[in-house]
Amino acid sequence: MRVRALVAYDGTDYGGSQRQTNAPTVQATLELALARVSQETITVLAAGRTDAGVHAEGQVIAFDTAWRHRIDDLQRALNAVLPADVAVRNVEETAADFHPRYDARCRHYRYTVYNAPVRCPLTRRHSLCVTGPLDVDAMQQAAQVLVGVHDFAAFGRPHKQGGVTVRRMLMAEWGGQLPWLTFDIEANAFLYRMVRSIVGTLLQVGKSKMSVEEFAAVLVSRERGQAGSTAPPHGLCLMEVKY
């Protein structure tokens, strides 16, 4: 049967979600846990790739297994052997042709900023500390420029060479209450490091180093060099994948 699962993880100690040879990954960790509880060699499919240091609350995976017990028992068995920074939040049997990536309608990410004069060591793994004041209203005005169908080449590159850089942005909103600021962004798909590049450039607006009009010009330029510096990964979390 094909199983669909909802997975959360702290990406701090991982080289990303997708399996690679030179660093621990979330995929390899999940596949090792599946091998331990099922005695099978199983390949995990994921809804999206998260970079090294990026977290997830709502990553969706799928895999095929000959598991013969209750599906709830599979979730309990996996969580018993997974490390503390990875958890399976839900499991269910799904259609044999379900693919978490290609069947996804849109993805929702959240970037968290801790905006205070002095850093807080307890927040350093899951938020970006910005010590100077930020003009949140200006950042929100700039973010609204992103909503709609645009070519986002200025903020990222496709995962495959020559790929399309046009995406449909459904939401781009700053929220929260000081010292916590959150940037929620939802689109049908994202380019490589696109969210972090957008956040880094919006922070330039918040620091009054770039105007809202200049931010809009960056989007229109389609030139990667026009965007601000890419925000670090630890503030980013994949919140939800919608189908």
106-242: which CATH topology? Answer: Alpha-Beta Plaits (3.30.70)
2-94: which CATH topology? Answer: Alpha-Beta Plaits (3.30.70)
Distance CA 215, CA 209 (A): 10
pLDDT single digits (tens) 102-152: 999 999 999 999 999 999 999 999 999 999 999 999 999 999 999 999 999
* Mean pLDDT score, 84-109: 97
pLDDT value, residue 160: 78
pLDDT value, residue 163: 85
Whether 106-242 and 2-94 are alike in CATH topology: the answer is: yes
pLDDT single digits (tens) 204-221: 999 999 999 999 999 999
Least confident of 81-95, 130-144, 159-173, 221-235: 159-173
**Mean pLDDT across the chain:** 96
Distance CA 181, CA 197 (A): 17
**Residue 173 · residue 200 · CB < 8 Å:** no
Backbone angles phi, psi at 193, to 5 degrees: 60, 20
**Residue 3 · residue 74 · CB < 8 Å:** yes
pLDDT value, residue 159: 79
Closest to 83 (Cα-Cα) out of 123, 42, 33: 33
pLDDT value, residue 161: 75
Distance CA 101, CA 111 (A): 21
pTM: 0.95
Q: Could you say which of 51, 85, 103, 184 is catalytic? A: 51
Asked whether the predicted pLDDT for residue 29 surpasses 80, the reply is yes
pLDDT value, residue 235: 98
* Mean pLDDT score, 168-178: 97
Distance CA 125, CA 234 (A): 6
What is the domain partition of the chain in residue ranges?
A: 2-94, 106-242
Active site residue 51: yes
**Residue 51 · residue 238 · CB < 8 Å:** no
Asked whether the predicted pLDDT for residue 4 surpasses 90, the reply is yes
Closest to 59 (Cα-Cα) out of 8, 4, 107: 8
> Residue 231 class from Cβ within 10 Å (0-12 exposed, 13-18 middle, 19+ buried)?
buried
